Amino acid sequence: MTALDTEISRRRTFAIISHPDAGKTTLTEKLLWFGGAIQVAGEVRARKASRHATSDWMELEKQRGISVTSSVMQFPYRECMVNLLDTPGHEDFSEDTYRTLTAVDSAVMVIDSVNGVEAQTIKLLNVCRMRDTPILTFINKLDREGKEPIDLLDEIESVLGIECAPMTWPIGMGKRFRGVYHLYDDAIAFFDPQAEKGTSETIQGLDNPRLDELIGSQADELRTDIELVRGASHAFCAKKYLAGKQTPVFFGSAVNNFGVQSLLDAVVELSPAPQARPALQGDAARQVAPGEGKFSGFVFKIQANMDPKHRDRIAFLRVCSGRFERGMKVKQVAGGKTLSVNNAITFMARDRSTTDEAFPGDIIGIPNHGTIRLGETFTEGEDLRFTGIPSFAPEHFRLARIANPLKIKQLQKGLQQLAEEGATQLFRPVSGSDLILGAVGTLQFDVVAHRLEHEYGVQVIFEPYNCSTARWIKGDEGELRQLSERYSANVALDGADDPVYLAPNNVYLNMVKEKYPKLQFLEAREVA
């Protein structure tokens, strides 16, 4: 095994997905704590609290600083190097979340045992499914009276369409919650909210008399449950898990630290090291293996940095192959330029530090002034382009009007640059000179208005725009021309000059689909 292979095999890069309030922030913090990356539990939640408290977008710069440092958290655990990628919790930032999911090798799905599978979980799981990302499930809040565990597994299987393999099984819930049984270690961990790490004692064997001593009549209930569970549920199958067809399920209570260690152990033991990634070399599709000698990576996120006046930004690049080292000359494939990366940063959980080297699975931040775009590929010289970074159909639209018409150039530039960062999408209908903004969530319009004012000196007014959804158009050129001529106000070009149909409503959308059968109307476009 080469030194590079060793580094690759110890990388684990994952994100946590959940519906807001299921416990993602709490679990993130506890994972960092169990991983030894933070000394006191409380830091991450405090950050989230300050994020919430500042609902006023005038505080935006401060928040950006916070989210840059918590976007990627790297820490060593056992023999592995873990990269935990944060996904913004707020629904309005979900597009950012989607793209972050293209940069991970696996995900942890948190389900609230009281609420079961919720709307955002469904959306996020569908995104994971686009790449068959392996998913571990953590069913949280067992200290509350929730749904029956077996019903939760049924719900995950039927609503999310993924097979469940219970790895642990809870003993009671709410006030009667006593701990979990590990189906594969034949061990029982007892829950004690007062204990430092949530567990008072661990014993071996379901027949252990200590079990009866500790939990009385619940011991027999557990024995019956386990017999049923073993008969009625799926056994863990590594192959199915890695193919994204089965999710191993763990039960616990993040706020009480319980079940977190088992989950973290599962991340290093079960979840995959960096895998090969699809790319185009010239016109030919190929898989880029992490062990290929030469460095390559792609940008999945761009974030304005602390000082917006200087328009400095950080491009988050996921290393896909080879080794990155400080000062290395890399090729920005799209523009053909070569740049020397001297100031890349990594994200050790405690703070940011300058990167000396990074390996596949790691994330590096490259400071720049708007010259790096979302989805771009960087290599050691090869003409590669990583594919599969999605841009989603926005669901909210606004027409941008300007208070001072002399500033129209700044407005165009500002909107174009913010769109390149991925904050919103910009559409220009083929007829007229309107600038239409699309976003996945309405909060993004506030962010854009604020940034236009502070970074570009433009006051913008957003007016309602009659559009309910957008679809990227692909297919027959003749039909596309006819569609553009007939509905010139509804056909627009996006930031990359790709044609988009802005549908006033579903009736129109269905009508054009019928009328132009040789065109496809796509909900997501690949950025790269």
Annotated binding site for GTP: 18-25, 86-90, 140-143
Q: Which is nearer to ligand G4P, 144 or 210 (CB)?
A: 144
Residue appearing with tokens 């989607």: 98
In terms of DSSP bridges, do strands 345-348 and 390-392 run parallel, antiparallel, or are they unpaired? unpaired
Identify the CA nearest to 392 among candidates 120, 121, 95, 124.
95
Residue 172 per-residue DSSP state: S
Q: Which is nearer to ligand G4P, 21 or 446 (CB)?
A: 21
Q: Residues 376, 377, 380, 384: what is their CA dihedral angle, to the nearest 10 degrees?
A: -130
Residue 272 per-residue DSSP state: P
Q: Which is nearer to ligand G4P, 24 or 525 (CB)?
A: 24
CB of 462 to ligand G4P, least distance (A): 28
CB of 234 to ligand G4P, least distance (A): 25
Who contacts 466 (Cβ-Cβ below 8 Å, separation ≥6)?
Answer: 504
Who contacts 343 (Cβ-Cβ below 8 Å, separation ≥6)?
Answer: 354, 366, 367
Identify the CA nearest to 232 among candidates 122, 116, 153, 348.
153
Within 10 A of 355 (CB to CB), how many other CB atoms are there? 22
CB of 27 to ligand G4P, least distance (A): 7
Number of amino acids touching ligand G4P (CB under 6 A): 18
Tell which one of 64, 86, 89, 425 touches ligand G4P (CB under 6 A).
Answer: 89
Q: Which is nearer to ligand G4P, 144 or 234 (CB)?
A: 144
Residue appearing with tokens 């523009």: 335
Residue span 408-427 as binding mask against ligand G4P, x where in contact by CB under 6 A, dash where not: --------------------
- What is the C-alpha to C-alpha distance for residues 16 and 42, in angstroms, rounded to an integer? 18
Residue span 6-35 as binding mask against ligand G4P, x where in contact by CB under 6 A, dash where not: ------------x-xxxxxxx---------
B/e letters for 32-60, b = 16+ CB within 10 Å, e = fewer, are: bbbbebbeeeebbeebbeebeeeeeeeeb
- The first and second tokens of residue 268, run together, are 């290093």
CB of 37 to ligand G4P, least distance (A): 17
CB of 424 to ligand G4P, least distance (A): 24
Query: Which phi and psi angles does 372 have, rounded to 5°?
Result: -105, 135
CB of 263 to ligand G4P, least distance (A): 12
Residue span 200-239 as binding mask against ligand G4P, x where in contact by CB under 6 A, dash where not: ----------------------------------------
- CB-neighbour burial class of residue 517 (10 A; exposed 0-12, middle 13-18, buried 19+): exposed
CB of 191 to ligand G4P, least distance (A): 11
Q: Does 498 bind ligand G4P (CB under 6 A)?
A: no
Q: Which is nearer to ligand G4P, 152 or 288 (CB)?
A: 152
The answer to whether the beta carbons of residues 113 and 82 sit under 8 Å apart is no
Residue 440, Cα to own-chain centre: how many angstroms?
A: 15
CB of 266 to ligand G4P, least distance (A): 18
3-state SS assignment for residue 483: helix
Query: Which phi and psi angles does 474 have, rounded to 5°?
Result: -135, 155
Q: Residues 479, 480, 481, 486: what is their CA dihedral angle, to the nearest 10 degrees?
A: 90
- The first and second tokens of residue 134, run together, are 């392996």
Q: Which is nearer to ligand G4P, 266 or 492 (CB)?
A: 266
Q: Which is nearer to ligand G4P, 87 or 346 (CB)?
A: 87
Q: Which is nearer to ligand G4P, 113 or 321 (CB)?
A: 113
- The first and second tokens of residue 272, run together, are 């995959």
Binding window for ligand G4P (CB under 6 A); candidates: 166-174, 254-262, 372-380, 428-436? 254-262
Q: Which is nearer to ligand G4P, 141 or 277 (CB)?
A: 141
CB of 259 to ligand G4P, least distance (A): 9
CB of 349 to ligand G4P, least distance (A): 17
Q: Does 255 bind ligand G4P (CB under 6 A)?
A: yes
CB of 45 to ligand G4P, least distance (A): 6
Return the CA Rg of the chain.
25
Q: Which is nearer to ligand G4P, 143 or 421 (CB)?
A: 143
Element (H, E) at 17: strand 11-18
Look at the chain and count its residues: 528
Q: Does 174 bind ligand G4P (CB under 6 A)?
A: no
Q: Which is nearer to ligand G4P, 21 or 157 (CB)?
A: 21
The answer to whether the beta carbons of residues 389 and 402 sit under 8 Å apart is no
Site for ligand G4P in 45-64 (CB under 6 A): 48
Tell which one of 70, 253, 346, 469 touches ligand G4P (CB under 6 A).
Answer: 253
Residue span 119-148 as binding mask against ligand G4P, x where in contact by CB under 6 A, dash where not: ---------------------xx-xx----
Binding window for ligand G4P (CB under 6 A); candidates: 224-232, 253-261, 268-276, 370-378? 253-261
Binding residues for ligand G4P, rule: CB under 6 A, are 18, 20-26, 48, 89, 140-141, 143-144, 253-256
